[in-house]
């Protein structure tokens, strides 16, 4: 990561710290607990690091497993090696502060056990959970983040096309997910963004189904929800295909959510309330009498985490701004029968939006 990018992020974080009266902020990436935060701040991809930020200092610690790795890629971070004693390290980092000092941390990334073991022993300080410290920094993507998400979308779309070309009757959901995940890796993904969802036949009525041993059969509708991760940034796409024939009932439901999705994408622009955008899609689905089957939010931010802010939800008061990257993914699910969903990852621009996805949204028949 370029020093200037880190510098800019640190400026914003320090400003937040001043306005929230925090004396310092500590990122604890312990067995991946804050992996996406450390990626976002420094580009470091490892599963362990401690990042300390005060008005004057920035310290980055990792353990000896990453010694060679940081030597090559992260010299500018001036990395220090952690010797395995976290209490001692925290003692050292906090020694400059007076009793009553406020120490910021990400409460959602720390277990109760961790808190008791490592934070509660410092009775003189008050530990303050600051979940929103990175909110505006992470929701407004910079050029290199946008570029990586775009590339992750290209990798996933290419891989999806290659996988449906290689689809064979008799494959199980797991077979197809393995094929797609393999293609994503071959095409340059660092990893999959998440466990690929392949839900066929009746299983498609599970909005977050998983790939099972079920064979994909003739007549089935198949929901495939997939994404690639590149340099820590993710893509998220959903497409459906049918095997051998397209049941008119599937097509009918799909056409409703597709028009809801297209209209919501069309409407997406900065300055809009997130809940209003959700309402655009929900309104169409309601018009067709299917609103009780659209059981989840319209979308979510995508970045260093697959699910992050801003949520595109009827309960969200977030005002969308350019640089936001999020999904638009309406779906309807009929219990015990079938489900359909379509999902694109889009970027808000100054003037409106840009859809990163170009994969056809027609139901493909295989
Ligand atoms: Mn999604």
Domains located in the chain, CATH noted: 3-133 (3.40.350.10), 140-365 (3.90.230.10)
Ligand 1: centre distance to CA 76 (Å): 35
- The parts of the chain modelled with pLDDT lower than 70 are 1-2
What separation in Å is there between the alpha carbon of 68 and the centre of ligand 1?
Answer: 36
The pLDDT tens digits of the residues spanning 188-224 come to 999 999 999 999 999 999 988 899 999 999 999 999 9
DSSP string, 85-114: -HHHHHHHHHTTSPTT-EEEE-GGGS-HHH
Q: Specify the pLDDT at position 74.
A: 75
- Between the CA of 256 and the centroid of ligand 1 the distance, in Å, is 19
Q: How far is the CA of 226 from the centre of ligand 1 (A)?
A: 8
Residue 123 phi, psi dihedral angles, 5° rounding: -70, -20
Per-residue confidence (pLDDT) for residue 331, from 0 to 100: 98
Q: Which of 273, 31, 26 is nearest to 128 (CA)?
A: 26
Q: What's the 127 CA to ligand 1 centre distance in angstroms?
A: 33
Query: Could you tell me the distance, in angstroms and rounded to a whole number, from the CA of residue 344 to the centre of ligand 1?
Result: 8
Ligand 1 centroid to Cα of residue 336, in Å, is 22
Q: Is 349 exposed, middle or buried (0-12, 13-18, 19+ CB in 10 A)?
A: middle
Report the helix count and the strand count for the chain, using DSSP H and E: 10, 20
**Cα 171 to ligand 1 centroid, rounded to whole Å:** 25
- Distance between Cα 343 and ligand 1 center (Å): 7
pTM: 0.93
């Amino acid at each position: 990561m370029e020093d200037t990018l880190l510098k800019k992020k640190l400026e914003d974080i320090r400003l937040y710290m001043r306005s929230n009266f925090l004396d310092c902020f500590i990122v604890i990436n312990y067995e991946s607990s804050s992996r996406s935060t450390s990626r976002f701040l420094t580009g470091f991809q490892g599963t362990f690091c401690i990042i300390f930020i005060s008005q004057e200092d920035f310290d980055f610690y990792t353990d000896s497993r990453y010694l060679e790795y940081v030597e090559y890629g992260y010299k500018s971070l001036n990395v220090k090696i952690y010797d395995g004693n976290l209490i001692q390290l925290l003692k050292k980092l906090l020694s400059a502060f007076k009793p009553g000092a406020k120490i910021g941390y990400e409460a959602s990334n720390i277990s109760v056990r961790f808190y008791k073991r490592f934070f509660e022993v410092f009775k003189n300080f008050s530990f303050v959970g600051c979940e929103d410290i990175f909110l505006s920094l992470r929701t407004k993507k910079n050029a290199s983040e946008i570029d990586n998400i775009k590339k992750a979308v290209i990798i996933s779309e290419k891989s999806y096309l290659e996988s449906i070309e290689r689809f064979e009757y008799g494959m199980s959901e797991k077979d197809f997910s393995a094929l797609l995940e393999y293609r994503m890796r071959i095409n340059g993904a660092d990893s999959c963004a998440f466990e690929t969802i392949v839900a066929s036949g009746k299983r498609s009525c599970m909005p977050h189904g998983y790939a099972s041993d079920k064979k994909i059969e003739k007549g089935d509708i198949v929901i495939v929800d997939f994404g690639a991760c590149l340099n820590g940034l993710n893509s998220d796409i959903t497409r459906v295909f049918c095997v051998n024939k397209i049941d008119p009932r599937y097509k009918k439901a799909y056409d409703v959510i597709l028009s809801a999705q297209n209209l919501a994408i069309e409407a997406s622009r900065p300055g809009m309330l997130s809940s209003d955008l959700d309402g655009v899609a929900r309104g169409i689905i309601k018009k067709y009498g299917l609103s009780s089957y659209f059981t989840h939010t319209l979308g979510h931010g995508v970045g260093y985490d697959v699910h992050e802010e801003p949520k595109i939800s009827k309960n969200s008061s977030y005002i969308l701004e350019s640089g936001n990257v999020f999904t638009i993914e309406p779906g309807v699910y009929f219990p015990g029968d079938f489900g359909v969903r379509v999902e694109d990852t889009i970027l808000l621009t100054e003037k409106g939006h840009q859809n990163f996805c170009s994969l056809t949204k027609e139901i493909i028949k295989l």
